[in-house]
Amino acid sequence: MAMAEKSCAQFLDALASKAPVPGGGGAAAMGGAIGMALSNMVGNLTVGKKKYADVEDEVKELLEQGYRIIEELKALVDKDAEVFEPLSKAYGLPKDTPEQAEHKAKVLEECSITACSVPLEIMRKAYAGIKIHERMEQIGTKLAISDVGCGVVFLKAALISGQLNVLINLSAIKDEKFVRETKEEMNRLLEDGCRIADATLQRVVEKIS
């Protein structure tokens, strides 16, 4: 059974066990999907209300984007587990001879580069979700504005968790160009995403206080 298709109880049991997957990356993707779902809940509560008729088309567009991100993050829960298996096997390769050590380093780097791609993609989706929350806070129904705040917190957590999983995989990569470019994108997503998430949360807090 795919990780994202497990029940909440099954997923949490697997996450809490000593099984190698799901781990932090899968949890980040699932948490991000939960956050995105909260924004969509607010959007669905907004659509059809006369008070918000002038922004209904935009809210519907945000909903469409949100549903797409939810599905993409759900797929990344499974993708994270998929790329971990070859990486875990690479760590177990022998390195008793110079040839074995060279082969292990090569395979480990290749697997680490692949493994980096998933948490970086989680960060991209989390960032896109944060941007949707930023707008939903402005035009969504005020009756559920607290849920925008909850959702953006989940997505900020997914963003930070994605960063941690990128960093741990970068440690085995010697390709300086790849490491530099990955860190540049990671840092940009993290800095801008956290800034927008924090500002959105602050506005929510001010509106409900």
Query: 2 in a domain, yes or no?
Result: no
Which tens digits make up the pLDDT trace of 41-62? 999 999 999 999 999 999 999 9
Cα separation, 57 vs 52, in Å, equals 10
| Model confidence at 2: pLDDT above 90 | no
The CATH code of the domain that includes 116 is 1.20.120.680
| Domain that residue 67 falls in | 24-208
- Collapsing DSSP to helix, strand or coil, 169 comes out as helix
- What is the per-residue pLDDT across 118-160, written as a single tens digit (0 to 9) for each? 999 999 999 999 999 999 999 999 999 999 999 999 999 999 9
The pLDDT of residue 133: 98
Contact 122, 174 (CB under 8 A): no
The number of residues making up the chain comes to 209
Virtual torsion, Cα 61, 63, 69, 70, nearest 10 deg: -160
> In what helix (H) or strand (E) does residue 49 lie, and over which residues does it extend?
none
Query: Global pTM?
Result: 0.93
Answer yes or no: is 6 within a domain. Answer: no
Location of structure tokens 């005020």: 142
